[in-house]
Structure 1
Amino acid sequence: MSKKVLITGSNGLLGQKLLDKIRNNSQFEVIATAKGEDRYCEEGYIYESLDVTKRDEVLNIMNIYKPDHVIHTAAMTNVDACEAEKELCKQLNVDSVAYFIEACKANQSHFVHLSTDFIFDGANGPYDEDAAPNPLSYYGQTKLESEELLKQSDIDYAILRTIIVYGVVKDMSRSNIVLWAKGALESKKSINVVNDQFRNPTLAEDLADACILAVEKKAQGVFNASGKDFMSILEIVERIADFWGLDKSLITPISAEGLNQPAKRPVKTGFILDKSNAVLGYQPHTFEEGLAIMDKQLALIK
């Protein structure tokens, strides 16, 4: 018996990586959803347009397909945009989850939800799953609110928290740190890079694997799902330059204060992955392995 899996945000980076991995897998019957037209455009799944901020649309799609599992990747993740457009951010990051909780309860569906390191203030990273949250930005606040909705619900759910997702697909809706740094340095542009914030960058394929493991095991509770390498944003960019043999003299280290970003960022997040390793069998790539995977994919797209 194949499991029915409904994916939200299937046009995004993570959504497309999930389709790469499960659309031709006989274990799964896949319903891909996103707002507007299908940008993935392959075979092996059903596509439905879905605006997750509309309760009626969510309930309708869920009642039609009655999926065993939902992987909810759709979200507003631009941290500064969330600060500027709080109502839209709330609709996408909190209200949508409330609608899916209602629909999952009616259809007895297991819900896999994506969350973030930005629920933490960055004072005590790296964090395990039981660390106390304290978001500094509206984005982080909405993601924490969505987690709380799930914890207070009586549906089956897994929350996967992640950090700086990078990767490449043939139809990118937005850039990420690797594509940005590589593109700028290849164009011989000088770039300012923060040297006082620390993260675990996450390969999109690894995060997709974590989602699939959570489905296969019908995982319950909170799991960290990031990359394994912990470093500063500056080191991330320097390692990108080293990997592709680009000019590191174009990189100027600056403090986060120098960027004057609208949303406050945590200084030092990072995740401890012991629980995900043990319970899910989650084994992410090293950063350089992730860059090598991207390099092969970029060669195919050109």
Structure 2
Amino acid sequence: MKVLITGANGLLGQKLVQLYESDESVDVIATARGASRNPFGTYTYEQMDVTVRSEVDKIISKHSPDVVINTAAMTHVDECELNPEKCWKLNVDAVSNLIDACHKTNSFIIHLSTDFIFDGESGPYVEEDLPNPLSKYAESKLESEKLLEASGIKHAIVRTMLVYGIVHDMSRSNIILWVKKSLEEKQLIKVVNDQWRTPTLAEDLAKGCALIAQKQAEGVWHISGKDLLTPYDMAIATAEFFDLDKALIEKADGSIFTQPAKRPPKTGFILDKARRELGYEPVSFKEGLAILKSQLAHV
């Protein structure tokens, strides 16, 4: 099987390349803007900007992949709110480019979406629940889903949320690394306790995508962690796991933070479909912390 990954310099992209390293039956074409930042894995690397249609056409037609996994996106929610045209170009127009290219090569495309397409009034959610986006980011991701559903090509939509993990050069941060660093520096931090998510270990998300790719399992899939937690819960668990001072963590209402984009209060995913049809089973949040700890010992 030949798998082409977009956004391969990002957290999920790098985890996918590493996951496929041990599978000799899969040839990986990793693509991103600029030079490759992933020193691990055996793969072919191509520079490709998903917003440039001619580049997408050229690279996908050159390799004719069986599966395209689209991890490229503009995911900073507030930046999307402040720069809606840039957001639309990367999150919607780029998907249109990929759809057109995959039409020509008959490639199966796996596209990453988000829990933020829901308004958070009735989470946790199953795949069939009705979306109601609250931000420009959420609107763009929902529109990309609609493009795929109307395209007629073989595809899967993977919704996920609050992905955490580390890359070798520590160029990506997340709530766990932020809490750990802040507490090690004895900083008092305020953490939201009125929003709920099922945080997702990057390795689990990569595993979910690989299961879908292997089966070419069409449709919408919810792939996340299994523990419904607030960011405050996550911060306390991180402090306890790394033996840091929990007294430095202060509960905060989300309304005290001035953020351009509105966040859904309670999302979280029900994973029954992915468990039943894919055999997907994520680690617990505490198990995820243990994995991060072991990885941090080697960076």
Measured against the shorter chain, the TM-score band is over 0.9
Q: Is structure 2 residue 215 aligned with structure 1 residue 228? A: no
Partner Cα distance (2:48, 2:176) in 1: 29
Deviations 1:207-247 (A, max 9, x none): 00001001001010000000000011111111111111111
Checking the alignment, whether the CA contact within 8 Å between 1:195 and 1:254 is kept in structure 2 is yes
Q: Is the 8 A contact 1:18 1:208 kept in 2?
A: yes
**Contact 2:124/2:269 (8 A) holds in 1:** yes
- Give the Å deviation of 1:43: 4.7
Question: Are 1:23 and 1:29, in contact at CA under 8 Å, matched by a contact in 2?
Answer: no
Q: Distance in 1 between matches of 2:109 and 2:21?
A: 19
1:280-295 maps to which residues of 2 (within 5 A)? Answer: 280-295=278-293
The one-letter code of the counterpart of 1:222 is V
Q: Secondary structure at the match of 1:208?
A: helix
Hey, what's the Cα distance between the residues in 1 that align with 2:29 and 2:77? 28
Q: Are 1:45 and 2:43 counterparts? A: yes
Residues 190-210 of structure 1 deviation map (CA, whole Å, 9 limit, x = unaligned)? 111011000000000000000
Aligned to 2:210: 212
Give the counterpart letter for 2:58 in structure 1: N
> Closer, same or farther in 2 for the Cα pair 1:104/1:198, shift >3 Å?
same
The answer to whether residue 59 in structure 2 is matched with residue 61 in structure 1 is: yes
Aligned to 2:244: 246
**Runs (4+) off by over 4 Å:** none
Answer whether contact 1:110 1:157 (CA < 8 A) is retained. yes
> Which segment drifts farther, 194-203 or 179-188?
179-188
| Secondary structure of the structure 1 residue equivalent to 2:19 | helix
Residue 277 of structure 1 aligns with which residue? Answer: 275
Q: Structure 1 residue 81 and structure 2 residue 57: aligned?
A: no
- CA displacement 1:48-78 (0-9 Å, x = unmatched): 1111111111111011000000010010100
Aligned equivalent of 2:9: 11
Q: Which residue of 2 aligns with 1:184?
A: 182
Deviations 1:246-270 (A, max 9, x none): 1111111111110111110000000
What is the match of residue 110 of structure 1?
108
Aligned-residue offset at 1:41: 2.5
Question: Quick check: 1:22 aligned with 2:40?
Answer: no
2:88 aligned partner: 90
C-alpha displacement at 1:178, in angstroms? 1.0
CA contact (8 A) 1:197 1:233 kept: yes
135, 141, 147: which one aligns with 2:139 = 141
What displacement does 1:98 show?
0.5
Cα pair 1:166 1:204 within 8 Å, conserved: yes
Normalised by the length of structure 1, the TM-score is 0.97
Deviation at 1:24, TM superposition (A): 4.0
Which AA in structure 2 matches 1:9?
Answer: G
Task: Note the residue ranges of structure 1 that are not aligned, 5 or more in a row.
Answer: none
Letter in 1 for 2:173: S
